[in-house]
Copies of this chain bind each other. A is one copy, B any other.
Amino acid sequence: MATARLSDLQDRMSRLGLAARAAASRMATVPRSAKDRALRAGAQALRTRRAEILEANARDMEAARGKGLSGAMLDRLALDPGRIEAMAAGLETIAGLEDPVGTELARWRRPNGLDIARVRVPLGVVGIIYESRPNVTADAGALCLKAGNAAILRGGSESFHSSRAILECLREGILEAGLPEAALQSLPTTDRAAVGIMLGMHEHIDVIVPRGGRSLIERVYAESRIPVLAHLDGLCHLYLHEAADPAMAVEIALNAKMRRTGICGAAETLLCDRAVADRILPPVLEALIAAGCEIRGDAEVCRLEPRAVPATEEDWRTEYLDAILSVKLVGGLEEAIAHVNAYGSHHTDSIVTGDREAAERFLAEVDSAIVMHNASTQFADGGEFGMGAEIGISTGRLHARGPVGVEQLTTFKYVVRGSGQTRPK
């Protein structure tokens, strides 16, 4: 890129950042009613301007076909009346959520009379970088707005026109509610250099939330000067303990692996206690194979199930996001926990057992954002957790761990009320 163009882009990005910061400052103190009104008016605009959005999407789809994008990519990009209605309904759901801003998280009085409160406030400016799904524009933008933040959105170049049309609807809602227009902005260009500039704007952006494939997340982690909320992998484990109910093991394994294979909460590795493998494992593998799942087993699993192919060391570290499952026998709870902590991605891991003590030890010692007992790993989702909506799932340990919903898009400050107190020497 020519130096003059890069410097021009930097100027534009800097102005965008300053506008976002100013908008965030105003957003921090607007009442819930205005934010909800903006979201509901945005939903209405999505419905009213449906034809316009579909037209913009048709342009994106045509270009994508021209570039030879895969069927899965095209499906993620495609909008139809049902998907637009789902976006509108999503905005209304978010409008209905409790406003987290202003909540007193704690309040106490010191012996000297100082009254100290920890109060929830918005995070500030959220940068969202995503790929082909245009609906992220609506979902992520709305969550940021509800939490009182300003957002800077950078959608994929494939969804450029669709995202812009959706953003126009949201901004129509924002203006109708009298909120600052710059509360939701998108990058002026799909130039990749703009992402690099964005990731360095730590004075203007408080947190980056990337949504997309592994290469995007890796780039963001590597380049960002701004804290990142994300997960690189969802290498989720299901562990069948010796006290597992055999029928429950089949149901949960089938659901954890096969309900949807492409989501981050899908199980990728199945562990089973050696002592009960003969009895518990065959019907589990039978059900998985019947549902179209490929089994990659260790030597013992391959002996139990001839249709299994031998797993390599790499398999224990692989998030397939596909109808493939690695399966391994373990000597018991301790070995299972050690395997999960060593090979997992600290996302979501579940134990199936009727032994409460074993379950509690697994829940305590597995070091993941979400640990489960007798439940499918596919419940790893903000909606399923009752958070209303989520912008993603974080495997980082700081600030937000697990689903990132409206609460996780806030921070807090300390409010100290006194009556003239001074600090003694």
* B-contacting 9-mer, from A133-141, A270-278, A395-403: A395-403
A123 neighbours in B (Cβ, 8 Å): 397-398
A206, A341, A398, A425: most-surrounded residue (chain B CB, <10 A): A398
A371 to B29, CA, bound (A): 15
Q: Which of B29, B363, B379 is in CB contact (< 8 Å) with A415? A: B363
Which B residue's beta carbon lies closest to that of A123?
B397
A124 lies within 8 A of B413 (CB): no
Which B residue's beta carbon lies closest to that of A361?
B29
A348 to B369, CA, bound (A): 33
A206-B398, A245-B420, A373-B418 known; A386 vs B341 contact (CB < 8 Å): no
B413 lies within 8 A of A379 (CB): no
A252 to B378, CA, bound (A): 56
Which B residue's beta carbon lies closest to that of A385?
B116
A416 neighbours in B (Cβ, 8 Å): 350, 370-373, 375, 379
Which B residue's beta carbon lies closest to that of A376?
B422
A108 neighbours in B (Cβ, 8 Å): 386
Q: Which of B121, B259, B375, B384 is in CB contact (< 8 Å) with A425? A: B259
Q: Which of B255, B375, B396, B401 is in CB contact (< 8 Å) with A413? A: B401
A398 neighbours in B (Cβ, 8 Å): 123, 206-207, 227, 398-399, 411
Indicate whether A365 reaches chain B with its CB closer than 8 angstroms: yes
CB under 8 Å from chain B, chain A span 261-281: none
B413 lies within 8 A of A371 (CB): yes
A413-B370, A414-B402 known; A423 vs B378 contact (CB < 8 Å): yes
A252 neighbours in B (Cβ, 8 Å): 420, 422
List 17 A–B pairs whose Cβ atoms lie within 8 Å, in order of A's numbering.
A25-B341, A110-B386, A116-B386, A206-B398, A227-B396, A248-B420, A255-B423, A259-B422, A363-B417, A369-B413, A371-B415, A374-B419, A375-B416, A375-B417, A401-B412, A401-B414, A402-B414
